[in-house]
Amino acid sequence: MSHFLSNLADLEFNLFEVHGLDGYLGRSSDLDAETARDLLREVDRLAHGTWAESLIESDRQPPRLEGGEVKLPPGLRAALREVIDGGWDRFGLPAEMGGMPVPHLLSWAAQELLLGANTPATFYAGGPLFARVMFEEGTPEQRDLARLMIERAWAGTMQLTEPDAGSDVGAGTTKAIHVEGDTYHLEGVKRFITGGDHDGAENIVHLVLARPEGAVAGTKGLSLFIVPKWLVDSDGQLGQRNGIFATRLEHKMGLKGSVTCEMTLGGAQPCVGYLVGGKHDGIRQMFRVIEHARMTIGTKAAATLSTGFLNTLRYARERSQGADLTRAADKNAPRVKIIDHPDVRRMLMLQKSHAEGMRALWTYTAWVRDQAEFDPAWSSRADFLLPLVKGYCAEKAYELLSTSLQVLGGSGYTEDFPIEQYLRDAKIDSIYEGTTGIQALDLFFRKIVRDQGQTVAQLASEVLDFVKAGGGEDQLAEERELLGRILDDTQAHLGAAVGFLFASKSDPPAVYKAGLHLNPLLESIAETVIAWQLLRHAEIALPASDHDSFRAGKVASARFFVRHVAPKVAARRAAIESEDGSLMQLSNDAW
């Protein structure tokens, strides 16, 4: 039996009932609603087969480095072949690249299924993302190379991080030496490169940030280069090996099937790179990849929590232990399923409400991105939501997968259940593609302050409209009131942070007071959006909830989530309003 359990019903509910995908499918594709549903079910079938089966194998028998080449376990290679043979690697790509164009909402729904079943395999199949950036940013010759990547199912990587330049990307020292035209020789070492080398594709095309000789310091001096593992002849055939090699593999806590490489450029032989688009605009170009990667990680985290919860739920329904709490003193009382114990039920609803809440968050974000395709006014909201998806889902999924394991008890700590691997695989989500702290800084300084609060104010106005909606017979009246309190507390938290920032103009250390509470601010804003979306779901589900268990569960999730998070948001507000900055004044020796 596959470790992977999907929630196709909730995915379809989000896509079609909440966001009305069937109403705008025709704007960007030739699909109708039934075909879209069929495609989603086919991806679900694929995810449950060879794709999911190879996840455990790749953890127990991870890729290995032999003679400068990375060898994947056979199950991973078979899974990749199945996706390529089915043409699923082209799902969501523009038609002019040979792809199947679909809305972001449908594309990310497919991604949730694949990421939840086998994240490493999904990463290896990520070449089309890099090809798309090359196609849309590149010269005519580079656009041809991008088409070739799709046609031949080549893989790709993004290479930013260096041994002494992690989150501080602008500190990178990899240099680019001009040869002629758009051709450069790159020299340096990159670290933590996902899929830096492997035998799952005949070629890998790397997108590498490097600093041309004489360029300014910091991120503004970085340029983006196309660096194929195998150089490509003018007729599209593979030529000689390029001078970029995996020189070490990281031995990791989890996600072992996804090889993480140290890459040496220009060591034994020249590493040839081609300037993307023939212009020095590297950080903007690379951020197109980074933003997609951040959405991927948030969706991955949500998907992992979802399958973790469903595995736990199945166990709780089957496992008998202990008497009902009402008969705890009766030694002859029958044993009950552990789902009937109050604390187990509490832990299950924590997982259920957050798994559905995270799916609500990323589907809403994907829907907003679809709107931005036709109305640029939506772009700022899509940008605003991205750090919430990445930061909140990454942190909360790991936290709640620990709860999944707790429900399983001792069995959860063994390899009999996938939760222990899920936990190990999920921890990286809050670290790479920008730590949660970096997401919080991005949210506050770039998405709120730089925007002068316009986007967050518009979003808050919509939440407030929902709070005020509903008539005298409204069954969600109490939950709307709680959402109003959550919104008030979150806005007060934000106001306090902005106040500290303004105070720092005359008192620079005042900015520390804001900085100490930006991660909690990200949590509160994310939970405000999730609570709003889940109550929207409940509003849709309520009419049939008395005879439809799925819809009854949707209402229960929304009610539980709002009640659970309201006190936490209030506590975070109280914490920033009482902040005195003393933590930043503590001597380093006092630790």
Residues classed as catalytic: 433
Q: Which distant-in-sequence residues (6+ apart) come within 8 Å of 142 by Cβ?
A: 134, 135, 226, 274, 276, 277
Report how far residue 418's alpha carbon sits from residue 3's, in angstroms, rounded to the nearest whole number: 6
Q: Which residues contact 188 (CB under 8 A, 6 or more apart)?
A: 162, 172, 173, 174, 175, 210, 265, 266
| CB-based contacts of 333-341 (< 8 A; 24+ apart in sequence) | 338/407, 339/313
Q: Tokens standing for 504?
A: 């720092």
Q: How does DSSP classify residue 7?
A: -
One-letter amino acid at 521 equals: L
d(CA 547, CA 290): 44
Residue whose structure tokens are 């997968």: 401
Question: Residue 325's closest CA among 345, 352, 350, 348?
Answer: 345
* DSSP structure string for 195-247: TSS-SSSS-EEEEEEEEETTPPSSGGG-EEEEEESEEE-TTS-EEEEPSEEEE
Strand (E) or helix (H) holding 323: strand 320-323
Contact present, 284 and 347 (Cβ < 8 Å) = no
Helix (H) or strand (E) holding 64: strand 64-66
Of 342, 337, 387, 340, nearest in space to 361 by CA: 387
- 230-to-148, 195, 276, 562, 590 alpha-carbon distances in Å: 13, 15, 17, 53, 54
